[in-house]
Copies of this chain bind each other. A is one copy, B any other.
C-alpha cells in the first residue's frame, strides 16, 4: 500500500528542499563509478565546486559522506598526535571540531566566544604562538552567525587554516583562495540545495604537501582519494571506493542550476530573503539572537517569546502547515528557533509563508 509522504517546507537548519534539477538527476540511469560518462560528470561537479569555493585548488571534490565526514577529513589529514589546533568555538560546530581534533590526538587550544557572536581573529592569533592548524566555522548553523575568514587568513602565520563552510557555500560569498583558507569542507543539503550525503571539500597544494602521509582514516585519506576524484595520481583514475554515483549526479545538477541562475544572483536572493525574514520577525516584536551585523541571511536565529512553548509551536507548524523549523542548540534548545531559507527556499513566498504561519502558531500553540 502506498505510504503517504508529507510534502514539507524545510525551513529548518537543513536539509532544505532541494532544487528540482538536483532531485531529477537522482533518477537518471545509474552509471558505474569508473564509467567515462560518470567521470565526466564528476569532473563537472568538481569544476562547479571550484566556482562555489572561489578556488583553483586541484584537489576539490565531494567526499562520500555528510558534512561531518568533511570535518573529520580536514583534521585527520592535517594533524598528527601532539600537533596543536587552535579552534575558535562560537557554536556547536566549533565544539565538534574540538572533539574531532582531540580524537586525532591533537592538543586542542579552544578560543571560546559567546554563542551568537562572531570569531575574534585577534584572540585566535593570541591563543598560541605556532599552531599546526587554526580552525573555525564560517557560518555557524547553531547560532546563525557569520565570521570573517579574511581576518583569520591574515593572522594565520604558518598554520593551516581550516574553514567549515557547511552553511555558507552556495548561499553567500566564499573565497577560499582570496582569504588564504587551506582546507575547507561543506555539505550539500544547505544552500547548494541538494539532498544530504556528500561533503564538498577543497585543499590547497601547500596543505596537501604537508598532509599526514598515512592518516588514521583510510576512508578519508586524501592521498588515496585524490587519485580517484581528481585524477591526480597520474595515468588515469585509480579505484579507491565506490563513489555514491547518484548523489554525485545530483550535486552536479544542483551546482549547474545555481550557475545557470548566476552565483551572484543566488547570493543576492539568499541575502534578500534573509533580510525580509529578519525584518518581519522584528516587526512581529520578536528578538533576533545573533549579534547585529553578523547575521546569516540563510539561517536566522530568533528568541522564543517569553511564555511561549518552543516545542509546541514547532509541532503546530509541522502538523498544520507542514513547515519544519529548528530548535536552538545546547542551552538555547528551547529558547531559540532556527529558521533556514536556503537553496530554492530563499524567496519571498517562503518569507511570507513562515511569517504568517509563525504568527498563527505563536497565538494558537
Q: Could you name 27 residue pairs across A and B whose Cβ atoms are closer than 8 Å?
A: A5-B29, A15-B33, A15-B242, A18-B30, A26-B246, A64-B69, A64-B197, A66-B241, A66-B244, A67-B242, A68-B219, A68-B241, A96-B218, A103-B215, A103-B216, A104-B216, A189-B242, A195-B244, A195-B246, A195-B247, A196-B242, A196-B243, A197-B197, A197-B244, A216-B216, A244-B247, A246-B247
A residues with a Cβ closer than 8 A to B are: 5-8, 10, 12, 14-15, 17-18, 23-24, 26-33, 35, 37, 64-69, 71-72, 96, 99-100, 103-104, 187, 189, 195-197, 214-219, 240-247, 250, 318, 324
Closest CB of chain B to A147's CB: distance in Å? 21
In-complex Cβ contact of A30 among B8, B68, B72, B242 (8 A): B8
Q: In chain B, what residue has the closest Cβ to A249? A: B5
Are A7 and B29 in touch, CB under 8 angstroms?
yes
Give complex CA distance A24, B72 in Å.
32
Are B245 and A100 in touch, CB under 8 angstroms?
no
Give complex CA distance A92, B139 in Å.
41
Are A14 and B242 in touch, CB under 8 angstroms?
yes
Give complex CA distance A218, B219 in Å.
13
Closest CB of chain B to A151's CB: distance in Å? 28
Which residues of chain B are within 8 angstroms of A71 by Cβ–Cβ distance? 219
The complex is assembled from copies of this chain, and their number is: 2
Main secondary structure of the interface of A (DSSP, over half): loop
Q: In chain B, what residue has the closest Cβ to A18? A: B30
A65-B69, A68-B241, A219-B68 known; A28 vs B5 contact (CB < 8 Å): yes
Q: In chain B, what residue has the closest Cβ to A218? A: B100
A216-B216, A219-B69 known; A247 vs B247 contact (CB < 8 Å): yes
Closest CB of chain B to A267's CB: distance in Å? 23
Are A196 and B65 in touch, CB under 8 angstroms?
no
Are B217 and A72 in touch, CB under 8 angstroms?
yes
Q: In chain B, what residue has the closest Cβ to A187? A: B242
